[in-house]
């Protein structure tokens, strides 16, 4: 308890694992009798824990996703059971078993697993939870908040004119915000914060319209990221106004902005996917206030992974000068040049983002490799009925299954002996068919790697619907930065790759361990160029 007090006094916010472990320890000793869990001999092997009932929970809170890697190093099971509190979680580390679990089945459910977490993220009230949980697993057809919202997002964010409209707008906004970045001399920026600034308003404007909450009140941008940084303690929900003080009050302000957005019907100027989403929620009886709350999880989905993915994509490119030169030369083939008209100064250079798919295979391969390298999000499902998978593992009703993407992404048996290294060319293939012999293109998966092994966007019926948008915006943005700017260390020379933080609970793509200060400047000889992104 002294340690807990010291930690509180030193930081104002205690470390989550300390709070969780202290509280769980007290409850465990008082409620010992009710916590006994029987295991069936057919369940996956049980990993013993050092402290009864709570050992794994404390370790997950303390070591985050690296705890799964630690267990894997010791046991190397394709699936195992982690006893947790009054139940168990099954952890899958084999792509073959992941493929079985992510297949649509009435015995497993994504929504039953995530809606409780969503409730804690967005602070839904009890009535709203009843509404969103109603028919979430399509027991009675396709009506209900979750089925309708899922189908609508899958269609509006799938390839086609609606997606093209949002992407075009997003790229236009990036072109104009990047054009305003004209560093004077040796301008030093913290890269992650700089990217948050570039993405937050651009995404919100393209998707939530010109009257989005951040355009109406710019201070909410910092509040959104303060909420995001404290999302795990908010989900733990143990006196969050004390244990996650900064995030809790920042979320209150963002929620007020979202409620105002809905009440004043500012969404009427938003992209059609947001208009439709809000219409579905209102139709099913959510109050305007709770519809506002619901948009917080959407903002989190849009921004939470795109920003850190862009961070790693850029740092990998700028820390390897040879790779950077290769990528610049590839992107050059997707650029057309126009002289600026009267009053213009320099050249207008247009990067054609769709064209990058065919002319810039190393760039696209490096994007996928970045995702493999840093996306350690676990896919979760709830087991709705006792079920046996692969003919031998019994999974018990009401348990959670997690697919440990971080472990699968770095498994040498799946990706080869260099699995732990970043290889920008991993997703390249040389065509052998007669018409295009010798032409190098990007492949979704290297030879012999099963599709369930690339887990950045999850898989199965709930695979991330934003993946097409994410690729265009991230690849487009990175292409413009690479062509227009140079990054250097403040002390000079190529930047160093920051260390990944794998010690957090994996709700989003990994973040860097420390701040990453860089000098940003326009490329020599191209200082006056105006870069534009077109789909
Ligand atoms: C690099 C960027 C991104 C990554 C790595 C990512 C990753 C993921 C993952 C892992 C899931 C869960 C799938 C599963 O468990 O099988 C997911 C779901 C989701 N993502 Fe993304 N995402 C990204 C960008 C986006 C963007 C830009 C949007 C919106 C425009 C978006 C919208 C969603 C939504 C709405 C869901 C929930 C799907 C459902 O309810 O069926 N994501 N994403």
**What pLDDT was estimated at residue 2?**
39
**What pLDDT was estimated at residue 29?**
55
Q: Whose CA is nearest to atom 21 of ligand 1?
A: 464
Ligand 1 centroid distance, CA of 314 (Å): 21
* pLDDT band at residue 19 under the 50/70/90 scheme: low
ipTM summary value: 0.98
Contact 325/490 with Cβ under 8 angstroms? no
* pLDDT band at residue 28 under the 50/70/90 scheme: low
Q: CA nearest 132: which of 114, 145, 147?
A: 145
* pLDDT band at residue 61 under the 50/70/90 scheme: confident
**What pLDDT was estimated at residue 215?**
97
Q: CA nearest 246: which of 262, 263, 234?
A: 234
- Partners of residue 388 on adjacent β-strands: 394
Instruction: List for the chain the helix, strand, coil content (%; round to 5).
Output: 55, 15, 35
Rounded average pLDDT over 31-43: 73
Q: Whose CA is nearest to atom 40 of ligand 1?
A: 150
* pLDDT band at residue 420 under the 50/70/90 scheme: very high
97 vs 110: CA distance, rounded Å:
16
> Would the pLDDT of 472 be above 70?
yes
Does the CB atom of residue 375 touch ligand 1 within 6 A? yes
Q: Whose CA is nearest to atom 16 of ligand 1?
A: 458
pLDDT per residue as tens digits for the range 483-503: 999 999 999 999 999 999 888
What are the C-alpha distances in Å from 91 to residues 224, 379, 435, 531?
Answer: 31, 10, 45, 46
Residue of 371, 409, 466, 507 to mutate, ligand 1, most atoms within 8 A of C-beta: 466
**What pLDDT was estimated at residue 365?**
98
pLDDT per residue as tens digits for the range 343-390: 566 789 999 999 999 999 999 999 999 999 999 988 999 999 999 999
Ligand 1 centroid distance, CA of 248 (Å): 24
Does the CB atom of residue 171 touch ligand 1 within 6 A? no
Q: What's the angle, vertex CA 486, arms to CA 485 and CA 491, rounded to 5?
A: 145
> Would the pLDDT of 441 be above 60?
yes
Nearest atom (ligand 1) to Cα of 207:
30
Do the annotations mark residue 464 as ligand-binding? Answer: yes
Distance of CA 92 to the CA centre of its chain: 20
Mention every residue, 6+ apart, whose C-beta is less than 8 A from residue 382.
Answer: 108, 109, 110, 112, 113, 398, 399, 400, 401
Nearest atom (ligand 1) to Cα of 459:
16
Ligand 1 centroid distance, CA of 499 (Å): 24
Residue of 457, 459, 473, 511 to mutate, ligand 1, most atoms within 8 A of C-beta: 457
Q: What is the mean pLDDT of the chain?
A: 90
**What pLDDT was estimated at residue 7?**
39
164 vs 159: CA distance, rounded Å:
8
Ligand 1 centroid distance, CA of 463 (Å): 7
Nearest atom (ligand 1) to Cα of 458:
16
Rounded average pLDDT over 89-105: 93
Out of 27-41, 73-87, 333-347, 435-449, which region has the weakest mean confidence (pLDDT)?
A: 27-41
Residue of 301, 470, 473 to mutate, ligand 1, most atoms within 8 A of C-beta: 301
**What pLDDT was estimated at residue 433?**
66
């Amino acid at each position: 308890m002294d340690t807990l007090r010291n930690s509180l006094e030193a930081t104002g916010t205690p470390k989550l694992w300390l709070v969780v472990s202290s509280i769980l320890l007290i409850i465990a000793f008082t409620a010992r009798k009710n916590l006994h869990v029987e295991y069936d001999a057919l369940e996956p092997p049980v990993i013993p824990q050092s402290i009864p009932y709570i050992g794994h929970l404390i370790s997950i809170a303390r070591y985050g996703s690296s705890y799964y890697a630690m267990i894997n190093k010791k046991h190397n099971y394709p699936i195992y059971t982690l006893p947790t509190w009054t139940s168990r979680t099954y952890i899958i580390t084999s792509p073959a078993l992941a493929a079985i679990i992510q297949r649509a089945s009435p015995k497993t459910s994504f929504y039953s697993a995530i809606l409780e977490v969503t409730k804690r993220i967005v602070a839904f009230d009890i009535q709203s939870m009843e509404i969103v949980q109603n028919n979430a697993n399509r027991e009675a057809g396709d009506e209900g908040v979750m089925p309708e919202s899922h189908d609508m997002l899958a269609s509006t964010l799938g390839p086609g004119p609606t997606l093209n409209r949002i992407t075009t707008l997003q790229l236009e906004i990036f072109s104009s915000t990047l054009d305003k970045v004209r560093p004077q001399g040796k301008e030093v920026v913290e890269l992650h914060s700089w990217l948050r600034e570039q993405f937050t308003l651009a995404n919100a404007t393209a998707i939530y319209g010109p009257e989005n909450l951040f355009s109406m009140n710019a201070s909410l941008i910092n509040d959104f990221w303060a909420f995001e940084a404290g999302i795990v303690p908010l989900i733990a929900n143990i006196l969050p106004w004390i244990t996650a003080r900064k995030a809790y009050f920042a979320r209150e302000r963002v929620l007020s902005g979202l409620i105002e957005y809905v009440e004043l019907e500012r969404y009427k100027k938003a992209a059609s996917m947001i208009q439709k989403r809000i219409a579905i929620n209102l139709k099913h009886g959510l109050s305007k206030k709770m519809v506002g709350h619901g948009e917080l999880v959407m903002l989190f989905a849009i921004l939470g992974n795109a920003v850190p993915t862009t961070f790693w994509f850029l740092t990998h490119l700028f820390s390897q000068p040879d790779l950077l030169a290769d990528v610049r030369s590839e992107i050059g083939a997707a650029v057309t040049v126009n002289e600026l008209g009267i009053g213009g100064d320099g050249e207008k250079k247009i990067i054609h983002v769709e064209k990058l798919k065919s002319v810039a295979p190393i760039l696209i391969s490096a994007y996928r490799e970045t995702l493999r390298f840093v996306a350690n999000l676990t896919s979760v499902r709830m087991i709705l009925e006792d079920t046996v998978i692969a003919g031998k593992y019994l999974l018990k009703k009401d348990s959670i299954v997690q697919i440990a993407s971080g472990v699968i992404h770095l498994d040498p048996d799946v990706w080869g002996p260099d699995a732990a290294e970043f290889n920008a060319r991993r997703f390249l293939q040389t065509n052998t068919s007669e018409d295009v012999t010798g032409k190098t293109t990007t492949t979704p998966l290297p030879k012999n790697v099963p599709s369930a092994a690339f887990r950045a966007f999850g898989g199965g019926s709930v695979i991330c619907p934003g993946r097409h948008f994410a690729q265009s915006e991230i690849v487009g943005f990175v292409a413009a930065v690479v062509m227009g700017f140079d990054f250097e260390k403040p002390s000079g020379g190529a930047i160093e790759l920051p260390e990944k933080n794998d010690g957090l609970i994996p709700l989003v793509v990994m973040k860097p361990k420390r701040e990453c200060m860089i000098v940003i400047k326009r490329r020599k000889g191209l200082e006056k160029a105006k870069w534009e992104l077109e789909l």
